[in-house]
Amino acid sequence: MRKGTYKFVAGLFAIALLAAGCSSSSDSASEETASEESAEVVADPELEIFTWWAAGGEAAGLAGLEAEFAANNPDTKYINAAISGGAGVNAKAVLQSRLDANDPPDSFQAHAGMELDGYVKGGQLEDLTFLYKEQGWDTIFPADLVKTLTVDGKIYSVPVNIHRANVLWWNPATAEKAGITAAPATLDEFFAALDKFKKIGIPGLALAGKGDWAIAHLLDWMLLATLGPDAFEGLFNGNTSWTGPEVEAALKNFQKALSYGNKGAGNLDWPDAGKLVTSGKAGFFIMGDWASAQWQADGLTLGTDYTWAPAPGTVGVYQWLSDSFTLPVGAKHRNAGIAWLTVAGSKAGQDAFNPKKGSIPARTDADTALYDDYLKAAMEQWKTDRLVGSTVHGVTGNNALMAAYNAAVGKYFSGGAKDNKGLAADLQAAYDAGQA
CB of residue 127 vs other proteins: minimum separation in angstroms? Answer: 16
3-state secondary structure of 230: helix
- CA 363, 368, 371, 375 dihedral sign is positive
List beta partners, residue 302: 306
In the complex with other proteins, the residue whose CB is nearer, 104 or 345, is 104
Q: Is 416 in the site for other proteins (CB under 8 A)?
A: yes
- Measure the CA–CA gap between 61 and 35, rounded to whole angstroms: 30
Cα–Cα separations (whole angstroms), residue 128 to 95, 140, 176, 311, 342 = 20, 15, 50, 34, 11
3-state secondary structure of 171: coil
Distance of CA 140 to the CA centre of its chain: 22
Binding piece for other proteins, criterion CB under 8 A, among 86-94, 101-109, 224-232, 338-346: 86-94
In the complex with other proteins, the residue whose CB is nearer, 377 or 400, is 400
Q: Is 407 in the site for other proteins (CB under 8 A)?
A: yes
In the complex with other proteins, the residue whose CB is nearer, 98 or 386, is 98
Binding piece for other proteins, criterion CB under 8 A, among 16-24, 38-46, 249-257, 333-341: 16-24
DSSP E strands in 301-408: the ranges are 307-310, 317-321, 323-326, 386-389
In the complex with other proteins, the residue whose CB is nearer, 304 or 435, is 435
CB of residue 100 vs other proteins: minimum separation in angstroms? Answer: 9
Q: Among 121, 133, 383, 421, indicate the residue that binds other proteins (CB under 8 A).
A: 121
Q: Among 96, 135, 241, 428, indicate the residue that binds other proteins (CB under 8 A).
A: 96
Q: Is 48 in the site for other proteins (CB under 8 A)?
A: no
What x-and-dash track marks residues 318-357 binding other proteins by CB under 8 A? ----------------------------------------
In the complex with other proteins, the residue whose CB is nearer, 96 or 364, is 96
In the region spanning residues 248 to 287, those forming contacts with other proteins, defined by CB under 8 A, are 263-264, 266-267
What x-and-dash track marks residues 375-404 binding other proteins by CB under 8 A? ------------------------xx-xxx
Q: Is 55 in the site for other proteins (CB under 8 A)?
A: no
- Measure the CA–CA gap between 167 and 286, rounded to whole angstroms: 6
Binding piece for other proteins, criterion CB under 8 A, among 50-58, 104-112, 136-144, 414-422: 414-422
What values do phi and psi take at 172, rounded to 5?
Answer: -55, -35
**CB under 8 Å to 47, separation ≥6 — which residues?**
69, 73, 76, 77, 78, 79, 106, 107, 333, 336, 337, 339, 340
CB of residue 350 vs other proteins: minimum separation in angstroms? Answer: 29
Residues across the chain: 436
In the complex with other proteins, the residue whose CB is nearer, 17 or 71, is 17
Q: Among 410, 424, 427, 431, indicate the residue that binds other proteins (CB under 8 A).
A: 410
Q: How many residues bind other proteins (CB under 8 A)?
A: 40
- Measure the CA–CA gap between 394 and 117, rounded to whole angstroms: 10
Q: Is 122 in the site for other proteins (CB under 8 A)?
A: yes
3-state secondary structure of 158: strand
Q: Among 71, 414, 421, 432, indicate the residue that binds other proteins (CB under 8 A).
A: 414
List beta partners, residue 325: 109, 158
**CB under 8 Å to 291, separation ≥6 — which residues?**
167, 169, 270, 274, 285
| b/e map 136-154, b = 16+ CB within 10 Å | ebeebbbebbbebbebeee
Nearest of 258, 252, 329 to residue 32 by alpha carbon: 329
Q: Which residues bind other proteins (CB under 8 A)?
A: 9, 12-13, 15-17, 20, 89, 92-93, 96, 117-119, 121-124, 209-212, 263-264, 266-267, 399-400, 402-404, 406-407, 410-411, 414-416, 433, 436
